[in-house]
Protein backbone atom coordinates (compact mmCIF):
# COMPACT_ATOMS: atom_id res chain seq x y z
CA UNK A 1 0.00 0.00 0.00
CA UNK A 2 1.38 3.46 -0.84
CA UNK A 3 1.82 5.88 2.07
CA UNK A 4 -1.57 7.57 2.46
CA UNK A 5 -2.11 11.29 3.01
CA UNK A 6 -5.36 11.94 4.86
CA UNK A 7 -5.55 15.61 3.84
CA UNK A 8 -5.28 14.66 0.18
CA UNK A 9 -7.75 11.86 0.80
CA UNK A 10 -10.36 14.30 2.03
CA UNK A 11 -10.57 16.08 -1.32
CA UNK A 12 -10.92 12.77 -3.15
CA UNK A 13 -14.04 11.65 -1.28
CA UNK A 14 -16.95 13.68 -2.70
CA UNK A 15 -18.53 10.63 -4.29
CA UNK A 16 -17.99 8.49 -1.16
CA UNK A 17 -20.02 10.82 1.03
CA UNK A 18 -23.41 10.23 -0.49
CA UNK A 19 -23.54 6.64 0.79
CA UNK A 20 -20.95 6.64 3.59
CA UNK A 21 -21.86 9.98 5.19
CA UNK A 22 -19.96 13.24 5.64
CA UNK A 23 -18.72 11.91 8.98
CA UNK A 24 -18.04 8.37 7.73
CA UNK A 25 -21.23 7.06 9.35
CA UNK A 26 -23.53 5.58 6.72
CA UNK A 27 -27.05 7.05 6.60
CA UNK A 28 -28.44 3.69 5.46
CA UNK A 29 -27.83 0.37 7.25
CA UNK A 30 -26.90 -1.49 4.09
CA UNK A 31 -23.81 0.72 3.61
CA UNK A 32 -20.81 0.34 5.88
CA UNK A 33 -19.54 3.01 8.23
CA UNK A 34 -15.98 3.97 7.32
CA UNK A 35 -15.01 6.26 10.19
CA UNK A 36 -12.14 4.79 12.18
CA UNK A 37 -11.94 1.67 10.06
CA UNK A 38 -8.52 0.01 9.71
CA UNK A 39 -6.45 1.75 7.01
CA UNK A 40 -5.04 -1.40 5.43
CA UNK A 41 -8.48 -3.05 5.36
CA UNK A 42 -10.03 -0.03 3.65
CA UNK A 43 -7.30 -0.07 1.01
CA UNK A 44 -7.60 -3.83 0.48
CA UNK A 45 -11.40 -3.63 0.25
CA UNK A 46 -11.31 -0.87 -2.37
CA UNK A 47 -8.70 -2.80 -4.33
CA UNK A 48 -10.88 -5.91 -4.14
CA UNK A 49 -13.75 -4.01 -5.78
CA UNK A 50 -11.52 -2.80 -8.60
CA UNK A 51 -10.09 -6.32 -9.13
CA UNK A 52 -13.48 -8.08 -9.33
CA UNK A 53 -12.88 -9.87 -6.05
CA UNK A 54 -16.23 -8.62 -4.76
CA UNK A 55 -19.29 -9.40 -6.82
CA UNK A 56 -22.94 -8.36 -6.97
CA UNK A 57 -24.82 -5.12 -7.65
CA UNK A 58 -23.24 -3.12 -4.80
CA UNK A 59 -19.77 -4.33 -5.77
CA UNK A 60 -20.38 -3.32 -9.38
CA UNK A 61 -21.44 0.11 -8.18
CA UNK A 62 -18.31 0.38 -6.01
CA UNK A 63 -16.10 -0.67 -8.92
CA UNK A 64 -17.60 2.12 -11.01
CA UNK A 65 -17.04 4.66 -8.25
CA UNK A 66 -13.39 3.64 -7.90
CA UNK A 67 -12.49 3.15 -11.55
CA UNK A 68 -10.68 6.46 -12.03
CA UNK A 69 -8.73 6.34 -8.77
CA UNK A 70 -5.07 5.31 -8.60
CA UNK A 71 -3.54 3.16 -5.83
CA UNK A 72 -2.22 6.41 -4.35
CA UNK A 73 -5.74 7.86 -4.35
CA UNK A 74 -7.06 4.75 -2.59
CA UNK A 75 -4.30 4.96 0.03
CA UNK A 76 -5.10 8.65 0.63
CA UNK A 77 -8.82 7.87 1.02
CA UNK A 78 -8.03 4.96 3.37
CA UNK A 79 -5.86 7.28 5.47
CA UNK A 80 -8.61 9.89 5.60
CA UNK A 81 -11.34 7.54 6.81
CA UNK A 82 -9.13 5.56 9.18
CA UNK A 83 -8.22 8.76 11.03
CA UNK A 84 -11.81 9.95 11.27
CA UNK A 85 -13.40 9.68 14.73
Using CA atoms, how far apart are residues 26 and 20, in angstroms rounded to an integer? 4
* C-beta of residue 30 within 8 angstroms of C-beta of residue 23: no
* C-beta of residue 24 within 8 angstroms of C-beta of residue 83: no
Question: 30 to 49, contacts with a second copy by CB under 8 A?
Answer: 30-33, 36-41, 44-45, 48
Using CA atoms, how far apart are residues 72 and 85, in angstroms rounded to an integer? 22
Least distance between a second copy and beta carbon 12 (Å):
20
66 touching a second copy, by CB under 8 A:
no
Least distance between a second copy and beta carbon 48 (Å):
7
Instruction: Give contact residues for a second copy (rule: CB under 8 A).
Output: 26, 28-33, 36-41, 44-45, 48, 52-56, 58-59
Amino acid sequence: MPQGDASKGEIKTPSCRFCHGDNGIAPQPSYPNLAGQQQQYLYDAMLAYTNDMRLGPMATMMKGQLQNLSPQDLADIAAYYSKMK
